[in-house]
Amino acid sequence: MLTKRIIPCLDVTKGRVFKGVKFSELLEIGDPAELGKFYSDHGADELVFYDITASSEDREISLDFVSKVAANINIPFCVGGGVNSIEDFTKILRKGADKISINSGAVRNPALITEASLKFGAQCVVLSIDAKKNDQGSWSVYVKGGREKTQLDAIEWAVEGVRLGAGEIVINSIDEDGMKNGYDIELLKQITDKVNVPVIASGGAGTIEHFYDALTKANVDGILAASVFHYGEIKIVDLKKALKEKGISIRTP
């Protein structure tokens, strides 16, 4: 049984970490390197950093924080936001990141997934999907930090992304983002049933039971969360202990 991963998510803009609800109402949390070290020291398996305004502002990702994070932590970390080219991949990896998350750039240019996968390896290419339920009962893909709806179906896009070479999928429910009502199990299950790469759940954690439900009912490989960690509502050590007691294969600190 593969060990499940607990992954704090840190949304970065203007060099600081922020957290919002449904991609808005942003509140400042702190310094990315300091928070990264805190989570690295307190049991996180990986970290994800998103430059949350790079795509909507049509600019390159801010790289200053990446090298600072790399110097402060001893666990893998992924960086995304405003990644649109192989050159972006190269610059970010040289700063010390282990994986690159692509979202808007991949929708705009799906060939980038294949190009990056061939050059750096599939394990380095993470397709991040921001999904919101539509009136037809399926999920639409949104880009530019959840601000712009596309014509893509989230399930179909996940399958296509893996076919193109993505080695991991992060699926974020815009409906549940920051709401703390639980992950969108239905959405996650449809994706884990159809792809053969790791799937990471994002958007909705409020209790330890929510983590457990996503891991068992949707069979995801990892859980990404922000608010409950940033505000100290759930400590990673406590979360891992509880999950292990429930029979989940998890790396304990």
Q: Where are the chain's structural domains?
A: 5-245
Angle at 62 between CA 6 and CA 57, to 5 degrees: 105
Quick count: other Cβ atoms within 10 Å of Cβ 131?
Answer: 28
pTM for the model stands at: 0.92
CA angle 167, 32, 161 (to 5 degrees): 15
Active site residues: 11, 130
Q: What is residue 90's predicted lDDT score, i.e. its pLDDT?
A: 96
Using CB atoms within 10 Å of the CB of residue 196, give its burial: 0 to 12 exposed, 13 to 18 middle, 19+ buried. exposed
Q: Do the Cβ atoms of 5 and 222 come closer than 8 Å?
A: yes
Residues 56, 59, 63: CA angle, nearest 5 degrees: 115
CATH T-level fold of 5-245: TIM Barrel (3.20.20)
Q: How many CA atoms lie within 13 A of 64 on its CB side?
A: 8
E strand or H helix at 16, and its extent? Answer: strand 16-21
Cβ(200)–Cβ(151) below 8 Å: no
Residues with pLDDT less than 50, the chain: none
The C-alpha atoms of residue 219 and residue 201 are separated, in whole angstroms, by 10
pLDDT reported for residue 66? 92
CA 231 to chain centre: 18
User: What pLDDT sits at residue 45?
Assistant: 98
Q: What is the pLDDT of residue 56?
A: 62
pLDDT value at residue 25:
56
pLDDT at 17: 82
